Amino acid sequence: MPGEFEYIAWLRSRTPADPRVLIGPGDDCAAIAPPSRPLLVTTDMLMDGTDFILTEVGPRRVGRKAMSANLSDIAAMAGVPTAVVVSVALPRDGRDLAAELYFGLRDVADAFGVAIVGGDTNSWDGKLVISVTALGEATARGPVTRSRAQPDDWLFVTGPLGGSILGHHLDFTPRVREALLLHEAVDLHAMIDISDGLAADLNHICEESHCGAVLTANAIPIADAARQLSHTSGKSPLQHALGDGEDFELAFAVSAEDGAKLLRTPPVPGLTKIGECVASGLWLEEDGQRKPLAPTGWVHQLG
């Protein structure tokens, strides 16, 4: 990546030196002090017209989203994010855009003590594409996977869901701190960040853990945006909460004992018990009836 992400080079004198970064932007690779625990790696690419509309939201919010989406994946494993590299394909004449994009990346990176250690800046005739790769470290308790949920576990989310398209998908805070506090407080059997939608992401946990889940309809915390959207979408607020993506809250499973402990003395605000794990299937319990729930969030009406 020689000579690239020039705006990083241009700006790096303004950013505090990070002792973990042995060699920063300006060489062929960045070099980082070796972590003492398992290294976490994740990557997310965002494209104009798919993940954001550049002309509507502006490059700074794009930069924030690109950084936050990656840190959210580190959070889902209860890791500590440490460093990122960023590659971009800029539309031609995108110099100002590049700087704003960088400031957006920096906003979030600074908030979480993450070093931007390098990147690759390109320009082309196409639309803006940005790809961030984030590195992190597991804590002493190890990374949290999706695979240890079991029947009778309690299921939680860290905040209200649905309607993120109205703005939250750009401006969310990745739940890095929440994940670390939860990981300290209890034994997290499985965790995921809600990017595909609550039903879909719970289904990922169920698949990896070889179990099922039943959600309690009236327990699911619904975002104001989901209510607002339901006025025009033809869907109920609950359907938005179940099916919309990019909430970037955490969904996780813990033992009933640990679940009760979380309700008594929540280590983070916004925790809600939304259901329990069962032997198999994905279900929604509503008005005393258990109905099959599709990973898309669609509820099969019975009888």
Q: How far lies 245's CA from each of 8, 194, 240, 269, in Å?
A: 31, 7, 9, 22
CB closer to a second copy out of 133 and 233: 133
The CB-of-250 to a second copy minimum distance in angstroms stands at 10
The neighbour count for residue 287, using CB atoms within 10 Å, is: 7
The CB-of-227 to a second copy minimum distance in angstroms stands at 27
Contact 134, 74 (CB under 8 A): yes
CB closer to a second copy out of 74 and 199: 74
The CB-of-211 to a second copy minimum distance in angstroms stands at 16
CB closer to a second copy out of 41 and 279: 41
Q: How far apart, in whole angstroms, are the C-alpha atoms of residue 172 and residue 76?
A: 15
The CB-of-123 to a second copy minimum distance in angstroms stands at 8
Q: How far apart, in whole angstroms, are the C-alpha atoms of residue 22 and residue 13?
A: 15
The CB-of-234 to a second copy minimum distance in angstroms stands at 26
CB closer to a second copy out of 10 and 224: 10
CB closer to a second copy out of 143 and 275: 143
Contact 15, 131 (CB under 8 A): no
Strand 190-193 relative to strand 129-138, pairing: unpaired
Q: Which of 9, 5, 7, 135 is nearest to 67 (CA)?
A: 135
DSSP state of 135: E
Contact 156, 271 (CB under 8 A): yes
Cα 112 to its chain centre, rounded Å, is: 14
Binding footprint of a second copy on the chain (CB under 8 A): 1-3, 22-23, 26-45, 47, 49-50, 73-74, 76-77, 79, 83, 85-89, 117-120, 122, 124-127, 129, 131, 133, 135-138, 143, 145-147, 192-193, 195-196, 201, 204, 208
The CB-of-159 to a second copy minimum distance in angstroms stands at 17
CB closer to a second copy out of 73 and 276: 73
- Strands (DSSP E) contained in 164-230 are 190-193, 212-216
The CB-of-231 to a second copy minimum distance in angstroms stands at 30
CB closer to a second copy out of 75 and 226: 75
Contact 60, 98 (CB under 8 A): no
